[in-house]
Chains A and B, each alone.
Chain A
């Protein structure tokens, strides 16, 4: 049972990392806290579902298309809404929150809730690992999670766009003087964040079903992971994902499933009390921000 718990804790950790990494990427680069993140996650799932079941496209095509559309929605959201209130934290937060709310509540109003609203798993087979049955889908989550983290690292360290992202993240003004268009980079950052949400949705949703409440849930989990790990730090997201993932699974197995939420909340409050900027967060010192 112990070994099995570890396996599932690992999977749970990757689910959390996948959920949080997009939010974190956007914030890390452009400082936009995308509170519509959960809504974009759910929206992409509904798009996949529609293409799959109403337009009868193959799974891979609908997945790719919905990820693409979600990225476009993210970019449009930045261009037409966020750009107008850029730099005003209050307005940015309220605008993204309002958009997310409108999307999720619209889905709820349309009544798209139920077991039939889900995405197919890649394969129904399962393996026996460490005394526990693990299906292909969960293994895929771990693999894709690893690939994404690795890909993101390569992207930000070796491609021109990625390097520009890091430059903007470090010092927007200096980046501007080097001819990096910060609006363009911010548009891409929101769009990439949305894309990551869509990828996460494509591989995580098959484990459950598509529901508006899931959108709030994803947002809460992403925020929790980012607060614990430290906003804007990819390493922090990974470490926090593992901490919360393991803590949740172990409390679930040994104490009881209803305690998992308490563990997360306790983790947040503890981290905030001891190191308010998160485990890996660097609350920039005053002069560095000027």
Chain B
């Protein structure tokens, strides 16, 4: 592979009390790649995302982004370096219309910098971005208060908020969970488009079938450790993976 490494995690540990949520984990994500991270509940996937995005500080280990050490960097600075994430539990500003929810990411220093200081109408940009993720412009969904929208739209709003920051590395934490098949099908093209634009994407997923269709590579976590890595078929054939899934889900 000639692609440069976008993200490198070295020997990362996070201990909550007596439990190691992430246990001596090392991995690499190459630029422009779509990597899927799977694993049973409580295997440390979300903690890993929180560590990379800086919301939680690791007990030990290092995280390098484009060669730069971001282990102890504040979360907002990490975002401004080009890593943006979505949250598993979406908590929009319920009373505000959906498009107003987009204003805060659009207000960030990163967006202003990229726009070269001359930023036009944030509302218009917000509506454009929302249309991109499937808020039909004619139906005026974007003008409805976020609290009245169904889960599918809220997830898409969350995705739009992350895209608004024009990230180079996008981390999607269980974007598909709680969505119907049709809703997933409507989001997949958005992700495909981001890939074509050269973004690096990390997806944490429980919906394996949908994930395998789009991911280049899969990494499996269990008890905070990496137990398998590689192409989807090969990973699922691994004995460790079968054991981890059967052991925890049955």
A–B touch (CB < 8 A): the answer is: yes
B122 interface hit (Cβ, 8 Å): no
Residues of A in contact (CB 8 Å), total 5
Q: Mark B13-54, 1 if CB is under 8 A from A, else 0.
A: 000100000000000000000000000000000110010000
The verdict on B57 contacting chain A, using a C-beta distance below 8 Å, is yes
Task: Please give the distance in Å from A214's CB to the nearest CB on chain B.
Answer: 40
Chain A residue with Cβ nearest B21: A287
The interface centre, meaning the residue of A286, A287, A290 with most chain B CB atoms within 10 A of its CB, is A287
Within residues 252 to 290 of chain A, which ones have a CB less than 8 A from any CB in chain B?
285-288, 290
Which chain A residues border B16 with CB–CB below 8 Å? 288
B55 lies within 8 A of A287 (CB): yes
Residues of chain B within 8 A of A287, CB atoms compared = 46-47, 50, 55-56
Residues from chain B with a CB closer than 8 A to the CB of A286 are 50, 55-56
Chain A residue with the shortest CB-CB distance to B50: A287
Contact of A285 among B46, B56, B89 (CB under 8 A): B56
Question: How far apart are B60's CB and chain A's nearest CB, in angstroms?
Answer: 16
Contact of A290 with B55 in the complex, beta carbons under 8 Å: no
Indicate the size class of the contact surface on chain B: under 10
Interface of A is mostly: helix
A286–B91 Cα distance when bound, in Å, is 14
Q: Return B17 CB to nearest CB of chain A, in Å.
A: 10
Contact in complex: A290, B89 (CB < 8 Å)? yes
- Chain B's closest residue to A286 (CB) is B55
Q: In the complex, how many angstroms separate the beta carbon of A174 from the nearest chain B beta carbon?
A: 13
Nearest-Cβ distance from residue B87 to partner chain A, whole angstroms: 9
A287, B55: Cα distance in complex, Å = 8
Q: How far is the CA of A285 from the CA of B57 in the complex (A)?
A: 9
Of residues 54 to 73 in B, which have CB atoms within 8 Å of A's CB atoms? 55-57
Closest chain-B Cβ to A169's Cβ sits at a distance in Å of: 14
| Alpha-carbon gap, A286 to B46, bound state (A) | 12
What residues on B are CB-neighbors of A285 within 8 Å?
A: 55-57
Across the two chains, which residue of chain B brings its CB closest to A287?
B50
Collect the chain A residues with CB atoms within 8 Å of residue B57's CB.
285
- The answer for the CA separation of A182 and B20 in the assembled complex, in Å, is 28
CA distance A286 to B74 in the complex (A): 13
* A286 CA / B49 CA spacing, docked (Å): 12
A177 to chain B, nearest CB (A): 15
In the bound assembly, the distance between CA atoms of A155 and B55 in angstroms comes to 35
Inter-chain CA distance A130–B46, complex, in Å, is 59
| Chain A residues whose C-beta falls within 8 Å of the C-beta of B89 in the assembled complex | 290
What distance in Å separates the Cβ of A262 from its nearest Cβ neighbour in chain B?
Answer: 34
Taken together as a complex, chains A and B put the C-alpha atoms of A287 and B50 apart, in Å, by 7
Q: Which residues of A contact B50 (CB under 8 A)?
A: 286-287
> In the complex the two chains form, what is the Cα distance from A288 to B21 in whole Å?
12
Alpha-carbon distance between A290 and B88 when the two chains are bound, in angstroms: 11
- Minimum CB–CB distance from A235 to chain B (whole Å) comes to 16
CA distance A288 to B19 in the complex (A): 13
Q: Which residues of B contact A (CB under 8 A)?
A: 16, 46-47, 50, 55-57, 89
Closest 4 A/B residue pairs (Cβ): A286-B55, A287-B50, A285-B56, A287-B56
Give A contacts to B, CB under 8 Å.
285-288, 290
- The 13 sampled A-B contact pairs (Cβ below 8 Å) are A285-B55, A285-B56, A285-B57, A286-B50, A286-B55, A286-B56, A287-B46, A287-B47, A287-B50, A287-B55, A287-B56, A288-B16, A290-B89
